[in-house]
Amino acid sequence: MLMTTTDVIQDVVIESYLGIVTAEVVYGTNALKDFFAGIRDLIGGRTAGYERVFEQGQQNALAELQKRAQNLGANAIIGIEINTGTINLDQSGVLLLITAVGTAVKTR
C-alpha cells in the first residue's frame, strides 16, 4: 500500500476517497526509563529509551492505519500526519500517545 504525507501522488489517479482513517497507540512509561530520562534532563543529552518507544509507536500506528484503510478497500493513504502527546494519570504516571491520521483512497 502506498502511504504518503502529501495530498497528491504524482502520476497517480485517485478514483475515490474512502474516508479519514485514524490509528492510536498508547504506551505506559516505567520507573527505570523515567529515572534515566530525569538524569538526562539534568545533564543534557538524548533519551534513547524514549526515542525507541516513539519510533516503535510511530511504526505501530502506521501499520494500524494501513490495516484500517485496507478494511475500507483502499490501496493508498494520502495526507498522513503523525502526532505525539501524553495522557496524565494524576500521581500514578503518564501514558505516551501516538496518533496517525490520513485519507484512505482507491487509486488506478
How far apart (Å, rounded) are the C-alpha atoms in residues 62 and 80?
9
Q: Which three cell numbers stand for residue 65?
A: 492505519
Question: Which of the residue ranges 1-10, 29-38, 61-70, 78-87 would you say has the lowest mean pLDDT?
Answer: 29-38
Fold assignment, 2-107: Translation Initiation Factor IF3 (3.30.110)
pLDDT(10) > 70: yes
What pLDDT does 32 receive?
A: 43
For residues 6 and 105, is the Cβ–Cβ distance under 8 A? no
Q: Which residue has the cell 497507540?
A: 25
pLDDT digit string, tens, across residues 34-66: 544 554 444 556 666 677 888 899 999 999 999
Closest by alpha carbon to 78, among 56, 55, 100? 100
Q: Which three cell numbers stand for residue 3?
A: 502511504
For residues 43 and 107, is the Cβ–Cβ distance under 8 A? no
What pLDDT does 54 receive?
A: 84
Q: For the residues of 76-95, what is the DSSP string, one character each?
A: EEEEEEEEEEEEE-GGG-EE
